[in-house]
Amino acid sequence: MFQSALDKMLFLTHSTMLNSLLKTKIAGTPTPFYYYDLDFLQETLQSALKISTKYGYFLHYAFKANADDRVLFIIKEAGIGADCVSGNEVLKALKTGFLPEEIFYAGVGKTDKEIILGLEGKIAFFNCESLQEITVINEIAGKMGLKAKIALRINPNVESHTHSYITTGIQENKFGIQMWELEKVFSIASELKNINLDGLHFHIGSQITDLEVFANLSHKVNEINDWFINSGFKASILNLGGGLGVDYNNPDVFPIPDFENYFRMINSHLKPHPGQDIHFELGRSLVAQMGSLVTRVLYTKMGKSKNFVVTDAGMTELIRPALYSSFHKIENLSRSQPGVASENEDIRKYDVVGPVCETSDFFAKGIDLPLTERGDILAIRSAGAYAQSMSLDYNLRDKAEVIYSDDLA
């Protein structure tokens, strides 16, 4: 269901706009490229902000989802903070103009150099994932004559019902401080001179579509938070991470993620203590649906049991199918209006594969497409998150350009 008539209108605009632009203005543009609909990005951000503000929540954006310059600038201008997982992301956040006090820095393997950089940049929080990391930050901060503000990233052992490769909050994951370590970590960290322990951080996975998971997370956060309060520590912030999923199957039907029910679910289960601020660090849900990876068909191979469409984009531009067997909707823009099958279309089954020398280099297997030919343009949808940011130069491939909707206005 569309959340509003506006959502529907916006998405139809996105989909049909891409189609008509391709047929007219960018038909001769070299492929592959990422197409980012910046108006749609704005709408998504405004939707997330409107609903989260209603509950007094604070939003950060997880750079790892997409760290494109223009995308970051728009997100910063919208008043959203930064969530970084490397020193270079912290540097980019500062360079883009995010305020240091809005920058969080997580990551299971921060190097000394990255810690120094975060301290020099006066970032708001280091989200710390082990006692050893905390003692290293304490030591480095001491040498620099500084005090580091930290949040404990806790692994709450909550199942997120998503792909095992993007589950981060169960015991066997490498992330966070385990529940049974909390007492020891707390008693040592709170004595360290150059550490200011002030937050609790959780992030249990990505592409979570079952909202009950966030109720479960909230209950666990309540338990942990109460335990800390009883132990004499009131965190000034509770950070519940990111994780809200998007609808890869129906990007036209559910264009803007269900922020309404997501925040409502958390609000009705989370019981913060007075004075505790609630933060989120959303990635995918803010940027996935604004993007498409646009690619040209190089060759078609009609086999006995399989038909292949070989495109000029590959896993180097969108690795999610190879990494997690992820589904992305694919449209042949040269053949039909997106989402509108014409009655006499000749529909065939295809594996859509890239040119990279790996069997895992595919975008989809056994999908229906109208009869597809060399030179056709395909849009691989929902490619605004974890596509460009995960791109590789494997096989010494060129970097794909980005075309923004307003480049074509």
Ligand X SMILES: Cc1ncc(COP(=O)(O)O)c(C=O)c1O
Residues that bind ligand X (CB under 6 A): 62, 64-65, 83, 106, 203, 206, 241-244, 281-285
Measured between alpha carbons, how far is residue 163 from residues 23, 266, 297, 312, 358 in Å? Answer: 36, 22, 30, 28, 22
**Nearest distance from C-beta of residue 243 to ligand X, angstroms:** 4
For residues 208 and 309, which CB has a smaller minimum distance to ligand X in the complex?
208
Cis ω for the linkage preceding 156 (within 30 of 0): no
Q: Are 199 and 212 in contact (CB under 8 A)?
A: no
Residue 212 tokens read as 């009950």
Q: Are 293 and 384 in contact (CB under 8 A)?
A: no
Instruction: Report the run of H or E that residue 11 belongs to, with start and end.
Output: helix 5-23
**Nearest distance from C-beta of residue 81 to ligand X, angstroms:** 12
**Nearest distance from C-beta of residue 96 to ligand X, angstroms:** 18
For residues 208 and 352, which CB has a smaller minimum distance to ligand X in the complex?
208
For residues 10 and 287, which CB has a smaller minimum distance to ligand X in the complex?
287
For residues 34 and 350, which CB has a smaller minimum distance to ligand X in the complex?
34
For residues 235 and 378, which CB has a smaller minimum distance to ligand X in the complex?
235
Q: What is d(CA 206, CA 14) in angstroms, rounded to the nearest whole number? A: 25
224 CB contacts (<8 Å, ≥6 apart)? 154, 156, 179, 182, 200
DSSP 8-state symbol, 3: S
For residues 151 and 378, which CB has a smaller minimum distance to ligand X in the complex?
151
**Nearest distance from C-beta of residue 245 to ligand X, angstroms:** 7
- How many C-alpha atoms does 32 have within 13 Å on its Cβ side? 30
> What one-character-per-residue DSSP string does 43-98 give?
HHHHHHHHHHHHTT-EEEEEGGG---HHHHHHHHHTT-EEEESSHHHHHHHHHHT-
